[in-house]
Chain A
Amino acid sequence: MIHFRNVSKIYTGDVVALRDVNLDIGKGEFVSVVGQSGTGKSTLLKMIILEEKPTIGQVFFNERDITTIGNREIPHYRRRIGVVFQDFKLIPKRTVFENVSFALEIAGKSNKEIKTNVSQILEIVGLAEKSLKYPTQLSGGEQQRVAIARALVHHPAVLVADEPTGNLDMINTWEIIELLIRINKLGTTVLLATHNKEMVDRLNRRVIALDKGNIIRDQLEGKYMI
C-alpha cells in the first residue's frame, strides 16, 4: 500500500533526515516507527501526508508516486489519510461535534451526511455523550480521541499518528493505544511514530527502528530497541 523507494531527505545546511530508505507497508498493518528525537520519524510520516517531499527517491501510495502530486491535488489526496498529532490540534472555539464535522464540511458533504458520520465516529471513540463540550472541558486523552475521530471521519485508508500519546499520562496513553488497535482491527492501516518503549513492547506488532535517518531494524513482532 505504501512504498518508499530509495528515499533520502536532506534539509538545507546538509542536515540529513532520511538516508536511502526502502520500506513497504501493507494494507491493514499496524506499524510503529521508533527512534530517538531527530532520527527522521516525523519526516517519514510527513512524506506520507505530503507535508514534505523527498530530496531523492519515490514514495508510492496505492501504486501512485505521490511525489509527483501537484499542489492542487494535495487536498484531495490528504482526504484519504487521517492524521493525529501530539498536540491534538483542535479548534478551541468549536465543540467536539464541530471539530469532527469540520473535516467533512470542507469536503462538501451534506449536513445530513455529516450528522450521521460524526455521531457514528464519536460512538466509536467513546465520546458520543460529550459531543457538545468544548475541547478545554475535556481531559488530554479525550481531546486526543476527538482528534482521532476527526482523522477517521472520512474513512481514510491510513491513519498516521505522530507521537499521539506524547502529552498523555499512562492511563490515557493506554486508552489511545487500545483505540488505535480497535481502529486497526476495523481495517485501517495504522502508522505510529513514538518513543514510548513500554507501549511498543506491549503492542507486539511490526516495529521499524530509525537511527540518524537509516532504518536499522524492521521486525514483524518487534520490541523497542535502538
Chain B
Amino acid sequence: MNFLTFWRGVKAGIKNFFRNGWLSVATISIIVLTLFLINIVFLITVVSNRTLENVQDKIDVSLYLKAEADDSAIKSLEEDIRKIAGVKDLNFISKEVALQDFKEKHKDDEIILKSIEELGNPLQPSFSIKMENPEEYQRVFQKIKELDVKGLTSDIDYYSQKKPVVEKLSSITKSIRKVGIFVVLIFATIAVLVTFNSVRLTMHNYRREVEIMKLVGAGHWFIRLPFIVEGMLYGFFSAWISILIFYPLIYFLSPYLNRAVEVMDIVQYLNENAIKIVAIQLLSGIFLGALSSLIAIRKYLKI
C-alpha cells in the first residue's frame, strides 16, 4: 500500500464517520461517558493517595529508650538507624525535652503537673522516626532490634495506637483504587461494545462496496483501513469532548472541592498535569476505538 492508497483509505474512513450521523453521536456519547468516568476515578484516586501520604507524613513512631542508656551508645544507635533503608527522618528526644513537652501539653492540669514534680522526671528518652512507607514499620523495627545489641530500646508505641489508623486508611485507598479500576473496566467494555456495534453497522451498510472492492482487487488492509479510521475517530472526538466537559466542570466546582479536599489544590493539579491528562485521554480513546474496529473486522469482515 503506497501513501496515496493509504490516504484514500483514511479519507473513506472520515467520510463513513460523518455519513453515520446519529449513530456516530450515540457512539461518541457512550465513549465520552466512559472517559469522563475514567477522569473522575483518576481524580478520586489521586486525592485519596494524597490524603494517605499526608497522614503517613504526619505519623511518626516513638521508639522509647531505657532511662539509663548513656549518650554515646544512643548516638551510635542513632547513626545505625539512619542507615536503614526506608527511614526518612529521625529525631532524638531526650528526657528533658520530653518532660518539657509533657508539661506544655498538660499546662492546665494542676494535679498532673504537681505529681510530675514530685516524681522527678519519670519520662524516657526516645527516637521519633518517620518512614518513607509506613507499611514497612515491621521490617524497620526488626532491623533496629538486631542493631540494638546493648538492649537500649524498651518500647515501641506504633503497634498499639498508630498502626490501625495507617492500615485502615491504606486499605481504604486500596479499595477505592480497586473499585475505580473495576468501574472503569466495565465502562470501557461497554464503550468497546458500542463502538464495535457501530463499526459493524457501517460494515453492513458498506457490504456492497466491500464485495466490489474484493472483486476489483483491493488489498486487505485497504478494505479494513476505513473501518479502523472510523473507530479511531470515535475515540478521538470523544476524548476532546470529555476533556471539554471535565475541565470546565472542575473549575466551576473548584470552590466546593477545595473546601472538601484540604490535602491538595485540585485545579492546580489538573493544570500542572494538563498535557499528560489530555494525552492519556486521546490515546485511550483512540486505542479503544481502534480495538473495537479490529474486533469487528475480525468477526464480520470476511476477506
Residues of A within 8 A of B (CB): 49, 71-72, 74-79, 83, 89, 91, 102-103, 105-108, 110, 150-151, 154
Residue of A nearest to B216 (CB): A103
Is B5 in contact with chain A by the CB < 8 A criterion?
Answer: yes
How many chain B residues sit at the interface, stated as a range, is: 10 to 19
Contact partner of A79 among B1, B2, B217, CB < 8 A?
A: B217
A102 CA to B1 CA, complexed, in Å: 15
Contacting pair B4 A75 (CB below 8 A): no
Contacts of B214 in A (CB 8 A): 75, 78
Binary per-residue interface labels of chain B (207-234) against chain A in the complex, 1 for a CB within 8 Å, 0 otherwise: 0110111111111101000000000000
CA distance A76 to B217 in the complex (A): 6
Is there an interface contact between A78 and B217, defined as CB atoms closer than 8 Å? yes
**A108 touches which of B2, B208, B220 (Cβ 8 Å):** B2
Structural contact, B4 and A110, CB atoms closer than 8 A: yes
- Chain B residues near A83: list those with CB within 8 A: 215-216
* B212 / chain A contacts, CB cutoff of 8 Å: 89, 91, 102
Most buried by A among B1, B212, B214, B217: B217
User: How many pairs of A and B residues are in contact by the CB < 8 Å rule?
Assistant: 55
A91, B209: Cβ atoms closer than 8 Å = yes
* 15 A–B contacts, CB within 8 A, in A order: A71-B303, A74-B217, A75-B217, A75-B222, A76-B219, A78-B214, A78-B215, A78-B217, A83-B215, A102-B216, A105-B8, A106-B8, A106-B218, A151-B216, A154-B216
Additional pairs, 11, CB under 8 Å, beyond known A77-B217, A91-B209, A106-B218: A75-B219, A78-B217, A79-B216, A83-B215, A89-B211, A103-B217, A105-B5, A106-B8, A106-B219, A107-B217, A151-B216
With A75-B218, A75-B219, A106-B222 already in contact, the answer to whether A91 and B8 are too (CB < 8 A) is no
CA–CA, A72 and B1, complex, Å: 12
Q: Which residues of A are found within 8 Å of B303, using beta-carbon distances?
A: 71
Task: Please give the distance in Å from A164's CB to the nearest CB on chain B.
Answer: 14
Q: Judge whether B4 and A108 touch: CB under 8 Å.
A: yes
Please measure, in the bound complex, the distance between the C-alpha atom of A72 and the C-alpha atom of B214, giving whole angstroms.
Answer: 12
CA distance A42 to B261 in the complex (A): 74
Residues of B within 8 A of A110 (CB): 4
A104: nearest chain-B partner, CB-CB: B216
Name, among A71, A75, A154, the residue most crowded by chain B CB atoms within 10 Å (CB to CB): A75
For A109, the closest partner residue in chain B by CB is B4
